[in-house]
Amino acid sequence: MLITLSEAASKIKTTNKILITAHVQPDGDAIGSTLATMQMLRSLGKTAQVFIDDSVRKNLHALPHFEEIRRPSAEKFDADLLLILDTSPDRIGNVSKLTDAPILNIDHHVTNKGDGYELCVDTEAAATCEIIFRLSKELDVEITPDIATCLYTGIATDTGFFQFSNTRAETLAIASKLITYGVSPHFISEQLEKKSLAEVRGLSAALNSLKMFYDDKVAGMILDHETAKKFDSTEGFIDEIRVIETVDVAFLITEKAPNVCRVSMRSKGVDVSKIADKLGGGGHIRAAGCTLKTTLADAEKILVEAIGTAIRN
């Protein structure tokens, strides 16, 4: 069921113990939005705790209160609301087993439809952190420099530092306000651009795997498990081939484990969220993903065919 942001705020106001979570394979928006919300709700005197069922890439560890994020265990968490950010409820891993509390979902993914749960979705928002900024106004909480840092990080990462097509005037207006609340943009950029030596070597392996399809309109990189396990993140790899001038759709397939192939897609025109949706994933028009539970060779075949069908239509 779809609800408005002010209805979401009313719901939050009437609850006291809130479990906050976001998607597995968390990005800057997932971590930034959950940590910002946790601080906002605590400032209202509520019990709020973030759980994420995954490891988090190192350059997000410097975010304020990062060390308080918990991973789910067998032990239940006493909550009267499960607040799910930046994803539909099907991508939160074992956090779903921690509580039977009602779900409130706040998201910006066009593939999230809210079937069977309360959803406040704004598909125009560049990041969930933009919506959380507006939520702070609805809840009348003060934006501290720590909260502003978390929100800015989510907006900066989901817009590729204000370069992607989801960057709107409103996005920059919010980012600008966050700077007045104490954000230091260059500090955040420097934290986020850091890569380990293993990651840079991984990028070189990924670039070596480059394959072109459909008259160079599609570019793909394929990382097998042996190569992928040497580094903890592939974030940003796909951007290196998205820029090829003939390319409309770029993809990266990473074999996370045998028969578990994680797919990322980026596009300059084609709606890749539809391709991802058909393959059991989701995302946005120009950035989407899914996981294909098959061999690397099969995953490539399935994906390239699906992209081919999309670009022909």
Q: Judged by CB under 6 A, which of 63, 290, 296, 307 binds ligand AMP?
A: 290
H-only helix segments in the chain: 5-13, 28-43, 128-139, 145-158, 169-180, 185-193, 197-208, 225-228, 239-242, 272-278, 296-312
247 in Cβ contact with 267 (< 8 Å): no
- Candidates 14-22, 93-101, 217-225, 279-287 — which segment interacts with ligand AMP by CB under 6 A? 279-287
Rule CB under 5 A: which of 136-165 touch Mn ion?
158
- Candidates 49-57, 133-141, 186-194, 278-286 — which segment interacts with ligand AMP by CB under 6 A? 278-286
Q: Which is nearer to ligand AMP, 91 or 274 (CB)?
A: 91
- Candidates 45-53, 74-82, 276-284, 292-300 — which segment interacts with ligand AMP by CB under 6 A? 276-284
What DSSP letter does each residue of 221-247 carry, written as one string? EEE-HHHHTTSS--TTTTHHHHT-TT-
Residues in Cβ contact with 62 at an 8 Å cutoff, skipping those fewer than 6 apart: 191
264 in Cβ contact with 289 (< 8 Å): yes
Cα dihedral 83, 193, 289, 228, rounded to 10, equals: -120
For residue 6, CA distances in Å to 77, 109, 187 come to 27, 19, 33
C-alpha 86/C-alpha 105 separation (Å) is 8
> Does 281 contact ligand AMP by CB under 6 A?
yes
Q: Are strands 211-213 and 118-121 parallel, antiparallel or unpaired?
A: unpaired
C-alpha 290/C-alpha 80 separation (Å) is 31
Q: Which is nearer to ligand AMP, 15 or 111 (CB)?
A: 111
Helix 28-43 / helix 145-158 crossing angle, nearest 10 deg:
160
Rule CB under 6 A: which of 89-148 touch ligand AMP?
91
Q: Which is nearer to Mn ion, 54 or 232 (CB)?
A: 54
Q: Judged by CB under 5 A, which of 15, 19, 27, 248 binds Mn ion?
A: 27
- Candidates 11-19, 121-129, 143-151, 248-256 — which segment interacts with Mn ion by CB under 5 A? 121-129
> Does 282 contact ligand AMP by CB under 6 A?
yes
Q: Which is nearer to Mn ion, 27 or 199 (CB)?
A: 27
C-alpha 201/C-alpha 268 separation (Å) is 27
Q: Judged by CB under 6 A, which of 56, 288, 296, 304 binds ligand AMP?
A: 288
Size of the site for ligand AMP (CB under 6 A): 12
C-alpha 292/C-alpha 309 separation (Å) is 18
Q: Judged by CB under 5 A, which of 29, 235, 248, 255 binds Mn ion?
A: 29
- Candidates 126-134, 139-147, 262-270, 296-304 — which segment interacts with Mn ion by CB under 5 A? 126-134
For residue 302, the number of C-alpha atoms closer than 13 Å in the C-beta half-sphere is: 19
> Does 107 contact Mn ion by CB under 5 A?
no
Tokens 């930034």 — which residue? 32
> Does 57 contact ligand AMP by CB under 6 A?
no
Q: Which is nearer to ligand AMP, 143 or 252 (CB)?
A: 252
Binding mask 17-56 for ligand AMP (x = CB under 6 A): ------x---------------------------------
> Does 86 contact Mn ion by CB under 5 A?
yes
> Does 12 contact ligand AMP by CB under 6 A?
no
The residues that touch ligand AMP, with contacts defined as CB under 6 A, are 23, 91, 264, 281-284, 287-291
